[in-house]
A and B are shown apart, each in its own frame.
Chain A
């Protein structure tokens, strides 16, 4: 990254840190949503972007993380900081199981993507019938009221949640950067680009892929924990839905798959775009169900046709933020 890039990045970071001081409630809630998608997009990117494994069922890991931590809190009074380990474990176990099934039997590409959808759908229908988790009627975490900020139990003001998710995004960014420049990271890239060649030089494909799934699902589960405690309600129909899985992958695709900044940039493009559309629809009074999603679809097609590598590589190149395309992006 060039000096200009680092300065710009630091400036953005400082702006985000200072945002709660100037932003009102609405802007803060939008920013929190943006950061949430940036975070889970980053987590998904570890699988697709770094290792070339297309997962279309990441809602499964979000949901498992959310339900595990929420159930521990409601049923046993175990707070999120302890519960998150169980959440991560549950999601990682599920991820590794799917990975084990898939990679063992040579299920690749479209087939692997389908396997991930299938498991997310199975979880959706399953949780609909699990009464311990509230079933299809939903699972609720009691709202704390105005008892002040309780970081230990993750109950409190929007500002608290904002800083928690901001910390998660920065941590995920740092972790991705470290991983990408580690031995494992180079193995992932090799596996993504040319599996046969990677195997020939001694990379254990199975282990590298399982590692990618494990890291990605564990990170995603944390997003789920945050979601559970931020929204205080969970419905299988929403949490595990195919639509949610797609929402999770869009930021990374729009921003740039396989890049570090891409998922964050993508989230900052997509969520405000959605808000803007809602605003425009309300302002003009031209409200038809589906109009907003229709625009979303058009935006998707336009982006994938004109910026197939995502917005970030192009933007970074244009503004001179990185030295060369593909390097250190």
Chain B
């Protein structure tokens, strides 16, 4: 087997991993600030996928152009969800938050099942079958664009948290909610904003994902688990960690699917998770608590 072959598999795995990483980033942002594990994350991602599918079907919109619209809708949804329901669970025990979001996840998933049916739907773009040659690599145009989109959104998110006043306020909330309240920050508003941002980010990841896979409601629980694995592997609350974890999982999935059996690929992700939990429970780039 030529070496180029492996290189190609690795590169396409890493590109898919970037989109996974973006999805996990949304989860990480929500958990890092609101301290609630969003168990409906995969459901929101698949909602983003169907958003892109609908926009492509109705307006012929490219998923990359549909992404901002999807993001806006999911932002509003996340905001309302936090304000209306999740906010009163912030101080409650973990298992109650979990059960609340599980209920919400069930509602979203089955609403999608009722609206769109169980069959998979795909988005056709003019460059669906194009490939791009970079040195020894032969990459799918769709994968390259999805990966590039994920990088752009990630950079924008980093910039927002580092430089904008609101971003700094949100980080202050994450570091010390009480202190943030003392200096006059409106915590409830910032929590709602954060949940909205997390939902928007995962929505964009979903829209980009339609370039790579067909949309099915059944994908949702898989993506929820995948996002969890990535966040834990990368380190809870660490944004670069989520991206790194996503690439690692994308890479290991691609390799396992190629070398062993595609049905074993998620086994590898769980293997990575178990090893990381044992050797470095705080995650690759996480801080020790």
A binds B: yes
Chain A positions within 8 Å of B95 at CB level: 48, 54, 253, 257
Residue of B nearest to A257 (CB): B95
Question: Which of A122, A305, A308 interacts with B267 by CB under 8 Å?
Answer: A122
Question: Which of A106, A118, A246 interacts with B274 by CB under 8 Å?
Answer: A118
* A255 → B minimal CB distance (Å): 13
* B46 → A minimal CB distance (Å): 13
Chain B positions within 8 Å of A293 at CB level: 106, 109-110, 113
Chain A positions within 8 Å of B263 at CB level: 125, 128-129
Q: Are B114 and A297 in touch, CB under 8 angstroms?
A: no
Please judge, given known A-B contacts A101-B277, A242-B225, whether A54 and B103 are in contact too, CB under 8 Å: no
Question: Which of A115, A126, A128 interacts with B277 by CB under 8 Å?
Answer: A115
Q: Are B96 and A304 in touch, CB under 8 angstroms?
A: yes
Q: Are B232 and A111 in touch, CB under 8 angstroms?
A: yes
Q: Are A301 and B277 in touch, CB under 8 angstroms?
A: no
Question: Which of A106, A122, A129 interacts with B270 by CB under 8 Å?
Answer: A122
Chain A positions within 8 Å of B113 at CB level: 289-290, 293
Query: In the bound complex, what is the Cα–Cα distance between A125 and B228 (angstroms)?
Result: 18
Say yes or no: is B178 at the interface (Cβ < 8 Å to chain A): no
Query: In the bound complex, what is the Cα–Cα distance between A250 and B266 (angstroms)?
Result: 26
* A196 → B minimal CB distance (Å): 14
Q: Are B102 and A300 in touch, CB under 8 angstroms?
A: yes
> How would you classify the secondary structure of chain A's contact residues: helix, strand, loop or mixed?
helix
Chain B positions within 8 Å of A289 at CB level: 113-114, 117-118
* B226 → A minimal CB distance (Å): 11
Q: Are B281 and A114 in touch, CB under 8 angstroms?
A: no
Most interface-central of A118, A119, A125, A294 (chain B CB within 10 A): A118
Chain B positions within 8 Å of A114 at CB level: 228-229, 232, 273, 277
Query: In the bound complex, what is the Cα–Cα distance between A288 and B111 (angstroms)?
Result: 10
Chain B positions within 8 Å of A128 at CB level: 263
Query: In the bound complex, what is the Cα–Cα distance between A54 and B103 (angstroms)?
Result: 17
Q: Are A297 and B99 in touch, CB under 8 angstroms?
A: no
Please judge, given known A-B contacts A54-B98, A304-B99, A304-B100, whether A118 and B273 are in contact too, CB under 8 Å: yes
* A281 → B minimal CB distance (Å): 12
* B271 → A minimal CB distance (Å): 8
Residue of B nearest to A98 (CB): B274
Say yes or no: is A320 at the interface (Cβ < 8 Å to chain B): no
Please judge, given known A-B contacts A115-B277, A290-B111, A297-B110, whether A253 and B225 are in contact too, CB under 8 Å: no
Chain B positions within 8 Å of A56 at CB level: 98
Query: In the bound complex, what is the Cα–Cα distance between A308 and B278 (angstroms)?
Result: 33
Say yes or no: is B107 at the interface (Cβ < 8 Å to chain A): yes
Chain B 214-241 per-residue mask, 1 if CB under 8 angstroms from chain A, else 0: 0001000100010011001000000000
Size band of the interface chain A makes with B = 35 or more
Chain A 286-306 per-residue mask, 1 if CB under 8 angstroms from chain B, else 0: 001111011011111100110
Question: Which of B98, B264, B267, B281 interacts with A111 by CB under 8 Å?
Answer: B281
Say yes or no: is B18 at the interface (Cβ < 8 Å to chain A): no
Say yes or no: is A274 at the interface (Cβ < 8 Å to chain B): no
* A46 → B minimal CB distance (Å): 15
Residue of A nearest to B40 (CB): A297
Chain B positions within 8 Å of A253 at CB level: 95, 99
Most interface-central of B98, B217, B263, B266 (chain A CB within 10 A): B98
Say yes or no: is A107 at the interface (Cβ < 8 Å to chain B): yes
Query: In the bound complex, what is the Cα–Cα distance between A33 and B103 (angstroms)?
Result: 22
Q: Are B96 and A294 in touch, CB under 8 angstroms?
A: no
Chain A positions within 8 Å of B96 at CB level: 304, 308
Query: In the bound complex, what is the Cα–Cα distance between A117 and B100 (angstroms)?
Result: 18
Chain A positions within 8 Å of B139 at CB level: none
Question: Which of A105, A110, A296, A298 interacts with B94 by CB under 8 Å?
Answer: A110
* A238 → B minimal CB distance (Å): 14
CB within 8 Å of B: which A87-118 residues: 101-102, 105-107, 109-111, 113-115, 117-118
Question: Which of B100, B106, B274 interacts with A305 by CB under 8 Å?
Answer: B100
Query: In the bound complex, what is the Cα–Cα distance between A304 and B221 (angstroms)?
Result: 21
Residue of B nearest to A104 (CB): B278
* B272 → A minimal CB distance (Å): 10
Say yes or no: is B137 at the interface (Cβ < 8 Å to chain A): no
Q: Are A294 and B281 in touch, CB under 8 angstroms?
A: no
Please judge, given known A-B contacts A290-B113, A300-B99, A304-B96, whether A121 and B270 are in contact too, CB under 8 Å: yes
Query: In the bound complex, what is the Cα–Cα distance between A101 and B118 (angstroms)?
Result: 38
Residue of A nearest to B104 (CB): A301
Q: Are B110 and A291 in touch, CB under 8 angstroms?
A: yes
Query: In the bound complex, what is the Cα–Cα distance between A115 and B117 (angstroms)?
Result: 32
List, sorted by A's number, 12 A–B pairs whose CB atoms are closer than 8 Å. Answer: A102-B277, A107-B277, A119-B270, A129-B264, A291-B110, A293-B110, A294-B106, A294-B107, A294-B111, A297-B103, A297-B105, A299-B103
Enumerate the 8 nearest inter-chain pairs by beta-carbon distance, A residue then B residue, closest first.
A297-B106, A300-B103, A290-B110, A290-B113, A297-B107, A301-B103, A294-B110, A293-B110
Taking A242-B225, A301-B103 as given, write out 6 further A-B residue pairs in contact, using a Cβ cutoff of 8 Å, ordered by the A residue number: A101-B278, A118-B273, A121-B267, A243-B221, A297-B110, A300-B103
